[in-house]
Amino acid sequence: MGIRRIHSIDGCIKPIGPYSLAVQAGNLFFLSGIIPLNDSGEPLVSDSFSEQVETVFNHTRKILSGLNLSLNSVIKVTAYLTDLDNFATFNEIYSKHFGDEYPARTTVQVARLPKNVKIELDLICFKE
């Protein structure tokens, strides 16, 4: 397989720039930033932070499934929020998706995200 393998997954959102959706290095998978786009690659019409987070998790599940992984495979999440006033809402939704065994996580506030969305997640996963 070489040092790394680039993955593209049918039926998932496509990268909006010059990067790969997922890169595998050995048993580790690195997922590029996932933002709340609709199927045509445009940002959600909804301005609802909760809806944007749920959309990101829906995309994340599809990508992981295409790699034969699940949320249980996630070992590290980096969350980028445009407003940390949404931190409690994010934690509530995040907890619902990950259950009781959380991956390591970093959450930061950023000035702006691509397409002016309110959230972006990138993940590191492990496959035995």
The two three-digit tokens of residue 128, written as one number: 């035995």
- 88 contacts: CB under 8 Å, gap ≥ 6: none
Helices assigned H by DSSP within 7-112: 49-66, 87-98
Q: Which pLDDT value is given to residue 1?
A: 52
- 124 contacts: CB under 8 Å, gap ≥ 6: 28, 29, 30, 31, 74, 75, 76, 77
Instruction: Quick: pLDDT tens for 13-30.
Output: 888 889 999 999 999 999
Count of domains for the chain = 1
Single-letter code of the amino acid located at 42? E
Q: Which pLDDT value is given to residue 4?
A: 93
Domain that includes residue 35, residue range: 5-126
Instruction: Quick: pLDDT tens for 53-94.
Output: 999 999 999 999 999 999 999 999 999 999 999 999 999 999
Instruction: Identify the DSSP state of 37.
Output: B
> What CATH code is carried by the domain that includes residue 63?
3.30.1330.40
pTM over 0.85: yes
Alpha carbon distances (Å) from 20 to 9, 24, 38, 72, 102? 10, 10, 18, 22, 25
Does 3 have pLDDT greater than 70? yes
Average pLDDT, rounded, for the chain? 94
